[in-house]
Amino acid sequence: FSAASGASSWRVALFTQANLTAWGVRAGLGAVYGRTMDNANSDTSTNGLAGVQVQCASAHGRIYEILYLNDDLTVAAGATATIGAGRFVIPNVVPGDTVTLSARKAGWSLWTRTTRAYADGVSHGYLYGISGGATVTMYVNDKSNAAIPGATVRVAENTALSATSDSGGKAV
């Protein structure tokens, strides 16, 4: 399905009941479908990003399974990261739950995305990123501005990303 409004247009994937059944979505629950994509490439037919591990955090503390998909939208059995066009689905999300999607791939910086699930519906959660990653430098100081060495600093949305401050309080 494509829609146009003035000079802009966008594409929306519409899924069949067969897709939902193949993904194991139970009646009354929703799904979140997404793709991991290279933000530097605006061609959505070629900008899928493989090798990305997707995480999902539920606003209600629920644990949801993440399935990685083949390009034909079938489940890639045993996959632990995106393949091909970077497709994934999170089946059986409780309606009204808000999930925050994050992703990681070595050498890449990927945005997070928050989306809400709807009963018997498929929400979209596209994750864009750029290669080369990003570097964050910070200084850990006490209230008198003295360096605090050995402090561990973690990214709230991805605690696997962390750094420990050096003798001057610098954490990279």
CA–CA separation, 117 and 62 (whole Å):
13
What's the half-sphere exposure (Cβ side, CA atoms, 13 Å) at 158?
15
The pLDDT of residue 2 = 45
Cβ(126)–Cβ(33) below 8 Å: no
Closest C-alpha to 96, from 59, 126, 133: 59
Structure confidence by residue, pLDDT tens digits, 23-43:
999 999 999 999 999 988 767
| pTM assigned to the model | 0.72
Pairing of strands 122-124, 30-38: parallel
The pLDDT of residue 157 = 61
